[in-house]
Amino acid sequence: MMQLTRYIPAVLFIVASLCPLASADSGLIRLSERAGPWRVIVMTDPTPVRAGPVDFAVLLQDVSTGKAVLNADVQFRLSNDEQGLTWSATATRSQADNRLLYAAKFTLPASGRWTADTHIQAGGVEHEVQWAFTAAEPIPPFTAAWPWLLPAPIGIALYAASRILRKSPSS
């Protein structure tokens, strides 16, 4: 029993260091506001938003019932005035990981300050909500890959430690 308690701090350290890798459904909430008959909730992933692959998602709820609206057309129009860029994407339920959301997965072309117009149309009603975000520089490739490379050296180190502990004289 004493031998097992020696490993508890190391196990806790490993588990705690891997916690930032856990991700929730659809990322960070960027906007939550009422627009006509709906509550519009816009989420982005990754956090922070970076130039490169991104996932923008919208949850559209009927204000009176709280139920998700599942028959809408959702468009994102993005503009980066610093670099003179514009970008548009259609959000669909088929692209979403959660079928109650409308999602658009695309490659954001540049970092910097972006303004997003989210245009929503459902049941003959149209509304647009505007929000902004700052996209960071793309993540370096090694930084993105390190969580996948980490288990092998940890496993080798634990195996080596167990071999050394087995060879040491008992007291």
How many CA atoms lie within 13 Å of 115's alpha carbon, on the beta-carbon side? 11
121/131 Cα distance (integer angstroms): 18
**DSSP β-ladder status, 85-91 and 112-122:** unpaired
Q: Is 160 domain-assigned?
A: no
Q: Say which CATH number the domain at 84 has.
A: 2.60.40.1930
Look up the domain containing 132 and give its range: 22-138
How far out from the chain centre does Cα 13 lie?
24
User: What is the pTM for the complete model shown?
Assistant: 0.71
Taking only the tens of pLDDT, the chain with its 171 residues reads 557 677 777 776 777 666 655 555 568 999 999 999 999 999 999 989 999 999 999 999 999 999 999 999 999 999 999 999 999 999 999 999 899 999 999 999 999 999 999 999 998 999 999 999 999 999 887 777 777 888 888 889 898 888 888 876 665
